[in-house]
Chain A
Amino acid sequence: MTDAEDLRRRTAELLAAHPPASTERLDFLRARFDAGLAWVHYPEGLGGLDAPRSLQAVVDAELAAAGAPGNDPGRIGIGLGMAAPTILRFGTDEQKQRLLRPLWTGEEVWCQLFSEPGAGSDLAALATRAVREDGGEDGDEGDWIVDGQKVWTSSAHLARWAILIARTDPGLPKHRGISYFLCDMTDPGVEVRPLRQITGEAEFNEVFLTGVRIPDSHRLGEVGEGWKVARTTLMNERVAIGGARMPREGGMIGVAAADWRARPELRTHDLHQRLLTLWVEAEVARLTGERLRQQLSHGQPGPEGSGMKLAFARLAQEISGWEVEFLAEDGLTYDDWTMRRPDGVDFTGREAGYRYLRAKGNSIEGGTSEVLLNIVAERVLGLPPEPRTDKDVAWKDLPR
């Protein structure tokens, strides 16, 4: 069993063999992966050492102290947070060996081809088709031909690979006829278009798939079992939310509080009352996240994670709305409507108007607040489910 002492020794060996000051960034990251210090809870040979997940912090602290380069989670978050755990669980040995190392080092960026214009909250209603070609003499050994449209795809313009769910049997009820693929974004028939949003910039893309040929060796899990595989991906997406630690007045409430202190001439009693209420709620949300983190580090995960995104979304919207109002005339201006392609969301660096508009997405992306409330009600509180009219109906027979 690998313990903290062992990891410190291995980290010191890595640093001695590849001093960060004189090693190329990618060379260092590859060496770190090969030493099993990338994600220590992953298997040996795949960037890990089968160590407890909590020990990653030991390695990260030692490497940070030595000034080692990081692997830029901003741009590769989808690969790390969603593709990797799914590939680890459902991938073949060959897929794991080929894909995980460049995923972790950031040499290959990943995106997620899940949502569609007609399948948002009801993701399993997706219509992108994957049809198997006749493989000739070998029977059903042929490639898959994929046609359809995906939307809200972060990093698609940068991505080398995508995780993709597509319908392989329209004659089955919607959850059962789906398969899960790894899609090469450089293949012919993959077209990526920026999707400009409410803030003026384009964080996301639309992806059009026209006759895209995917070999069967790039399928993850069994044919028709794609929904089960996708659930692993989605579970990891929600676990990723609420993980970071925050100081008091961290994030958006800190910006609002700083505004209040800097602009005494704009203060009113009404804004004061509302600011204090929001300050309390932000502090309590921070403590709730901290409590969840402590539960996780004691191996007692609580259901609070399902609720953290709800609280975060509501607070981000209310605080940014308060801020625009507080700033009065300055709240009437906007910093930049240029259509840019940012790597991530900036909730503290830009102006209040940007925060206000971007926060509208917080209650929609990664599961709408309404869907999350249903999940809390049914899975945490055990309330009876809504009646379903689509459960046993073939996808092709559903009204659309």
Chain B
Amino acid sequence: MNDGTPLNGTPAADPDLLYSAEEDALRDAVRSLLADRSDPATVLAGLESQAAYDTGLWRALATDIGAAGLLVPEKLGGAGASAREAAVVLEETGRCVAPVPYLTSAVIAVTALLGCDHDQADVAAPLAALAGGNAVGVLAVPLPTAPGGPAAPTVRATADGALTGRVTSVADAAGAELLLVPAEGPDGPVLYAVEAAADGVRTDPVTPLDLTRPLGHLTLDGAHGRLLASGDRARTAVAHALLTGAGLLASEQLGVAEWCLAETVRHTAERTQFGRPVGSFQALKHRMAALWLEVASARAAARNAADALAAGSADAPVAVAVAQAYCAPVAVRAAQECIQLHGGIGMTWEHPAHLFLKRAKSDELALGSPGRHREALAGLVSLDAP
């Protein structure tokens, strides 16, 4: 948890861009779990299993390690940590494209619930379930939705809580027990909780570009939901959930890029052509060195976003937009370089490089493309369009 301790006499408002000892310990725990249970070869082998996610892995990560409740205060059943720790988990899940609903359930859905009045049982109960890893919840918006939120909800709610409408491309929808549905009610925006198994709810799986993060189209036909928030509170809860998701997605992108670079360096140092390791050719070395600099820079940008979110800083929207505009293309470039510098091996299904390209490219669209984030930035830092 960021306690705002000044760093060597600098003002507390300055971001802490390093990792704390507690964060390092959490990283070790998550990394060793994922190394055992979800290395890229294992993820590859489980790809076409039709399961929505790896339930055993999710239980170990969410419940045994307690990662699902990091963002939730202790009195509400969580670990009382912050976005800084959740970001560390995402670096590690990104590093092995783990097929678990961490970003969608433990970050975005949890943040949306935290934005509601959690003195109410209808909010506190699902929050405790998500925090304990006993249920998976998702915010029912299309995955590309930027922090500004959808222009208008595509679901309508009646005064007595019957929801009708369609939401396309909802990440991890198929594995979710709980849907948090932003809708347009008779008196403005509302946020409802709907059981995925309830009458009038249908989830149609879509074949996703990124097989490790399933997508589904959601159809609600008079489904009954419980009201979580309405008016500005509903709008703000959704917006903050998307801002948090976008900001922490940068750490997942950092993890993706790190794996791609490390694996490329390892491969090119071993692979011999023309009588030399190909990694000794300057044309290739320079590409990897340039990528290393981008990854090191992405780490600073991602840590800054996580720290700003953890501190509730007024600078968070800028920090998130910068992190997304920067880290998303870095992850894509790293994955593309990984495939290119692996040569033919990189184009095969049996080498896991394609999993990282698919995740990186899909992440570039998720929660606002880099262009959208730069547009948002223009307004935030007074660089107006022509």
The residues of A with any CB-CB pair to B shorter than 8 Å are: 54, 57, 249, 257, 260-261, 264, 267-269, 272-273, 275-277, 279-281, 283-285, 287-288, 290-291, 294-295, 297-298, 300, 302-304, 307, 310-311, 370, 372-374, 376-378, 380-387
Contact = CB atoms under 8 A, between A and B. Distances in A.
B377 A380 contact: no
Contacts of B301: 283-284, 287-288
B224 interface: no
B322 A272 contact: no
B300 A287 contact: yes
A280 B15 contact: no
B286 A54 contact: no
Interface in B75-117: none
Kindly list the 10 A-B residue pairs having the minimum CB-CB distance in the complex, ordered from nearest.
A377-B285, A267-B386, A384-B280, A376-B289, A307-B293, A291-B17, A287-B300, A276-B374, A288-B300, A373-B289
Question: Interface of chain A, helix or strand or loop or mixed?
Answer: helix
5 contacts: A280-B322, A283-B322, A287-B303, A288-B297, A384-B269
Contact of A311 (B15, B293, B303, B377): B293
A383 B269 contact: yes
A261 B383 contact: yes
A273 B377 CA distance: 11
A316 to B, nearest CB: 15
A276 B374 CA distance: 6
B375 to A, nearest CB: 8
B198 interface: no
Given A249-B381, A287-B301, A287-B322, 18 more contacts: A57-B9, A269-B386, A280-B326, A283-B322, A284-B298, A284-B301, A284-B322, A291-B17, A294-B7, A303-B296, A304-B296, A376-B292, A377-B289, A381-B265, A382-B269, A383-B285, A383-B288, A386-B282
Contacts of A302: 296
Interface in B322-338: 322, 325-326
Nearest to A266: B386
A290 B265 contact: no
Contacts of B351: none
Nearest to B315: A248
B268 interface: yes
Nearest to A281: B326
B304 A295 contact: no
Contacts of A381: 265, 285, 288-289, 292
Q: Among B9, B293, B381, which residue has the most Cβ atoms of chain A within 10 A?
A: B293
Interface-centre pick from B7, B265, B300, B378 (highest chain A CB count, 10 A): B300
Contacts of A376: 289, 292-293
Interface residues of B, number: 44
Q: Which of A54, A272, A284, A288 has the most CB of B within 10 A?
A: A284
Contact of B383 (A272, A287, A304, A370): A272
B385 A267 contact: yes
A294 B378 CA distance: 29
A357 to B, nearest CB: 24
Contact of B268 (A275, A370, A383): A383
Contacts of A378: 285
B15 to A, nearest CB: 7
A373 B285 contact: yes
A22 B378 CA distance: 51
Nearest to A245: B10
B290 interface: yes
Q: Name, among B277, B292, B303, B385, the residue most crowded by chain A CB atoms within 10 Å (CB to CB).
A: B292
B8 interface: yes
B279 interface: yes
A285 B288 contact: no
Contacts of B377: 276, 279-280
B341 to A, nearest CB: 11
A384 B279 contact: yes
A291 B303 contact: yes
Given A279-B377, A287-B304, A295 B18 contact: yes
A257 B383 contact: yes
B207 interface: no
A59 B326 CA distance: 38
Contacts of B288: 377, 381, 383
